[in-house]
């Protein structure tokens, strides 16, 4: 287990977090800008002294140890590879530091270069690589010494969308294969859901919800979490009543609205995403969002709408 209880204060900001995460899993720290994700990561890494608390990994107290003795690897957004070293030497760096025997070191570096698809670049310097390649080197370098815990701060943050997607699936496979315990900071909910077996949602220095991605998505703790995760159909008690639901706040899960038959509503806005289409509808005087495969509807069209009350969940 990675277990921690940490406090840190800055003017106008107080972090207070207790967490217990199973080893061998990837967890995602998800929260808006300024919620304390990077601060928490730095406290765990030992790069920042806490005002109080402790960090334990597999029962061992890491709190008094300096960063280099915690067995923790990091990848931060502005990767900071060693510019004067080749890719090979960058990946070998932590192993040399840890005095790995020469043969084991060579085998481990080769293994990671292969796994990250970097063999052809082994003898280049970082500045001769693309952004995505540099990011792969940073991952290989962090994973090489088999850290007991890998901390990743927005590891895909600086990349363009297509490259981000490509690296996301790469990182997902790599973390699974290496079975590293990893904590990934992101403010992108899709990235968190795809990478992690467990999601930790942070708000203003506190953990507000922890759980499997599916559970957090379908049972957000409150309206704030629901909205932060990208849910759009959050109904006030009055709106709920107009839709025939009990008079209290509800969240409509995706799939709650069916188009075709039923009482008619009006398409107010049509959003074309390519594979999907989003529609903002006015139905019974409530503005509702529907998303799915091309329904062949234009703005101003009338359409029958049905609500599945089983997918309307009460929310605070």
Binding residues (CB under 6 A) for ligand ATP: these are 10, 13, 31, 33-39, 187
Least Å from the CB of residue 158 to ligand ATP: 12
Rank residues 40 and 249 by Cβ distance to ligand ATP and give the closer one.
40
Least Å from the CB of residue 32 to ligand ATP: 7
Evaluate whether 198 touches 181 at the Cβ level (below 8 Å): no
Least Å from the CB of residue 153 to ligand ATP: 8
Strand boundaries in the chain, DSSP class E:
2-10, 13-21, 26-30, 52-57, 60-61, 72-75, 149-153, 181-186, 198-203, 206-211, 234-235, 250-252, 257-272, 277-283, 286-292, 302-307, 312-314
Rank residues 49 and 66 by Cβ distance to ligand ATP and give the closer one.
49
Q: Give the closest residue to 288 by CA, choosing from 252, 242, 245.
A: 252
Rank residues 6 and 95 by Cβ distance to ligand ATP and give the closer one.
6
Q: How many residues does the chain have?
A: 316
Rank residues 13 and 54 by Cβ distance to ligand ATP and give the closer one.
13
Q: How far is the C-alpha of 38 from the C-alpha of 42, rounded, in Å?
A: 6
Question: Which are the contacts of 156, defined by CB distance < 8 A and separation ≥ 6?
Answer: 135, 164, 167, 168, 171, 186, 191
Least Å from the CB of residue 12 to ligand ATP: 7
Rank residues 29 and 303 by Cβ distance to ligand ATP and give the closer one.
29
Least Å from the CB of residue 170 to ligand ATP: 23
């Amino acid at each position: 287990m990675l277990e921690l209880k940490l406090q840190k204060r800055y003017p106008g900001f107080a972090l207070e977090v207790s967490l217990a995460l199973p080893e061998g899993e990837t967890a995602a720290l998800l929260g808006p800008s300024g919620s304390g994700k990077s601060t928490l990561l730095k406290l765990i890494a030992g790069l920042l002294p806490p005002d109080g608390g402790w960090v334990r990994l597999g029962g061992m107290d890491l709190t008094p140890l300096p960063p280099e003795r915690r067995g923790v690897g990091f990848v931060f957004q502005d990767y900071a590879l060693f510019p004067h070293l080749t890719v090979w030497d960058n990946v070998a760096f932590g192993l040399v530091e840890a005095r790995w025997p020469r043969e084991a070191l060579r085998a481990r570096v080769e293994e990671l270069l292969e796994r990250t698809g970097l063999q052809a670049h082994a003898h280049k310097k970082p500045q001769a690589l693309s952004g995505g390649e540099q990011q792969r080197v940073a991952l290989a370098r962090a994973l090489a010494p088999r850290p007991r815990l890998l901390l990743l701060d927005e590891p895909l943050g600086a990349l363009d969308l297509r490259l981000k997607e490509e690296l996301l699936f790469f990182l997902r496979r790599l973390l699974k294969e290496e079975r590293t315990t990893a904590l990934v900071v992101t403010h992108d909910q899709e990235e968190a859901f795809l990478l992690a077996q467990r999601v930790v949602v942070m708000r203003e220095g506190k953990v507000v919800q922890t759980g499997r991605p599916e559970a957090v998505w379908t049972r957000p703790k409150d309206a704030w979490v629901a909205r932060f995760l990208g849910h759009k159909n959050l109904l006030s008690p009055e709106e709920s009543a107009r839709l025939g639901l009990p008079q209290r706040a509800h969240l409509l899960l995706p799939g709650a609205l069916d188009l075709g038959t039923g009482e008619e509503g009006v398409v107010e806005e049509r959003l074309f995403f390519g594979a999907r289409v989003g529609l903002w509808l006015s139905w019974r005087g409530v503005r509702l969002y529907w998303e799915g495969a091309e329904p062949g509807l234009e703005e101003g069209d009338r359409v029958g709408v049905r609500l599945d009350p089983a997918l309307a969940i009460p929310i605070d």
